[in-house]
Amino acid sequence: MLRDMATPPTTTLLILGAGGDLTHRLLLPGLASLLAVEPERVVRVVGADRVDISAADWKARVKDSFAAAKPAARVTSAITRHTAYVRTDLLDEAALRALVGGCGDGPLVIFFALPPQVTMKVCALLQHVALPDTTRLALEKPFGTDHQSAVDFNTLLHKVVAEEDIFRIDHFLGVATVFNLVGLRFANRLLAPVWSAEHIERVEIVYDEDLALEGRAGYYDGAGALKDMLQSHLLQVLALFAMESIAALDARELQDQKAQVLRATRVWGGSPKRSSRRARYTAGTIGRRKVPDYVQEEGVDPKRCTETLAEVTLEVANSRWAGVPFVLRSGKALGTPRKQIVAHFRDVPHLPTGFVGGSDGDLLTIDLKPGAVSLTLTMNAEGDPIDLEQKTLTATLAAPRMQPYGEVLAQILDGSQLLTVRGDAAEECWRVMAPVIKAWADGRVPLEEYAAGSDGLTP
């Protein structure tokens, strides 16, 4: 059926689960933002799902998803002209073969915008389907459901395509302010010598959102904040923060260094009971918005103990970082969104006697959204020259050139693994969090409550 369409452009982006929220809300707008910046790229989008969507409705959806990023009119019109939607059963091998065959022999990116269990089943079927020579698999998080399933999933995927053609998506890697960690760390003489336990006392990686469930119970209620944010995104941020230096901005270099850090990472003190916290929001108000009790949200199963806030303290047990707590935290429905990395520097060994005021440690704060980098230093800012106080110097970062999904897609289309999660790292992320997941499942860490709109601490 697809063969009858107009001349296929270079790469086909085949989206499995095209009828879902992710495709409409993030993936297609991300592609649009990429094409707004790089209009010369030629991509054909094919959506597939089991829901019935007419050709006209699909084109309208694509057009609608493209509207906000405002690529050139000719780009949107080419995409909508060539796009197609196929209603199919992705768990039927013959149907899957027909779908893939219909995409032609050109380069193919199969994007799995599906729940992990369905993704794994479709990949099992793909083993028996002939794929074009250049076939790349892009897999949404979560990658598997626990450590063993991630190991099994990797084994299965390697029977379908080589690791270099597998792209495990973590859209945080496409966030410019996250990737900025690499440039900031390795381009500044000032920072490199102090980037260790000798000078840094504690690191916080925080992603507190004022958004609540926002109708995502179907996915989130089975995941919770730990798997949704810490096990995935925030561990990637930790890896970029703590990794050793790279010789070149090269995917393999970066993947090697990130994997090495993750292998050295473990729960602080080996005790999830003492080093983790979980909580769930109750009814409250955020600004003028009334937020219901989490268990009253549509689609939530009150019998599940899903946390909407997770905090875990980790240690990177290597010679650079031993003894430095890395506190990872993310919560939903909080009063004040705070999305930042904060490096707390140690106090100076000795403040000359005679000065008045603080010798509070310096801070390096990286605001992820909106982007800014701040350095908080102790100085004499006003008054008597011996009075010391902390002052913050801030550089605001420019708005990102495209959406994170646009950055990630650009790398996938180019076959570069710079912004992906390698298989071994994906397994490590589960290994790091496994003791916490187990302790929570066994009820060894109580599920606390906090009021929506609060700081996450107030019952």
Ligand X SMILES: O=C1O[C@H](COP(=O)(O)O)[C@@H](O)[C@H](O)[C@H]1O
Annotated active-site residue 233? The verdict is yes
Is 320 or 369 the residue whose CB approaches ligand X more closely?
A: 369
Q: Of all helices (H) and strands (E), which one includes residue 48?
A: strand 43-49
Tokens of 97: 């073969």
Is 223 or 445 the residue whose CB approaches ligand X more closely?
A: 223
Site string for ligand X, 175-214 (x = CB under 6 A): ----------------------------------x-x---
Is 209 or 315 the residue whose CB approaches ligand X more closely?
A: 209
Tokens of 455: 């700081």
Alpha helices in 107-146 (DSSP H): 116-126
We find the least distance from the C-beta atom of residue 379 to ligand X, in angstroms, to be: 34
Using CB under 6 A, which residues numbered 209 to 248 contact ligand X?
209, 211, 228
Is 102 or 400 the residue whose CB approaches ligand X more closely?
A: 400
Q: How many residues make contact with ligand X (CB under 6 A)?
A: 3
Is 30 or 102 the residue whose CB approaches ligand X more closely?
A: 30
Tokens of 380: 């004499």
Is residue 367 a contact point for ligand X (CB under 6 A)?
A: no
We find the least distance from the C-beta atom of residue 105 to ligand X, in angstroms, to be: 34
Is 228 or 428 the residue whose CB approaches ligand X more closely?
A: 228
If DSSP codes are grouped into helix, strand and coil, which group holds residue 192? helix
Is 22 or 150 the residue whose CB approaches ligand X more closely?
A: 22
We find the least distance from the C-beta atom of residue 209 to ligand X, in angstroms, to be: 6
The identity of residue 240, as a single letter, is L
The single residue of 158, 233, 344, 350 carrying the catalytic annotation is: 233
Is 160 or 229 the residue whose CB approaches ligand X more closely?
A: 229
Tokens of 155: 């084994």
Tokens of 322: 């031993």
Contacts of residue 216, defined as CB under 8 A and 6 or more positions apart, other chains included, come to 21
Q: Which of 65, 5, 16, 56 minimizes the C-alpha distance to 36? A: 65
Alpha-carbon distance of 308 to 291, in angstroms, equals 13
We find the least distance from the C-beta atom of residue 233 to ligand X, in angstroms, to be: 6
If DSSP codes are grouped into helix, strand and coil, which group holds residue 96? helix
The DSSP secondary-structure symbol of 421 reads B
Alpha-carbon distance of 300 to 219, in angstroms, equals 10
Tokens of 112: 């799995």
Tokens of 328: 């990872």
We find the least distance from the C-beta atom of residue 173 to ligand X, in angstroms, to be: 11
**Residues written for the chain:** 459
Q: Which of 277, 266, 274 minimizes the C-alpha distance to 316? A: 266
Alpha-carbon distance of 111 to 119, in angstroms, equals 10
Burial 375-387 (b: 16+ CB within 10 A, else e): bbbbeeeeeeeee
Q: At what angle do helices 93-101 and 116-126 cross, to 10 degrees?
A: 80
With vertex at residue 376, the alpha carbon angle to CA 371 and CA 377, rounded to the nearest 5 degrees, is 155
We find the least distance from the C-beta atom of residue 361 to ligand X, in angstroms, to be: 29
Measured from each CB, the residue nearest to ligand X is 228
Strand partners, 387: 356
Phi, psi of 342 (to 5 degrees): -125, 120
Is 6 or 398 the residue whose CB approaches ligand X more closely?
A: 398
We find the least distance from the C-beta atom of residue 425 to ligand X, in angstroms, to be: 17
We find the least distance from the C-beta atom of residue 176 to ligand X, in angstroms, to be: 11
Using CB under 6 A, which residues numbered 150 to 169 contact ligand X?
none
Alpha-carbon distance of 133 to 153, in angstroms, equals 22
Residue pair 311/205 in contact by the 8 Å Cβ criterion: no
We find the least distance from the C-beta atom of residue 369 to ligand X, in angstroms, to be: 6
Strand partners, 395: 373
Catalytic residues: 233
Q: Using CB under 6 A, list all residues that contact ligand X.
A: 209, 211, 228
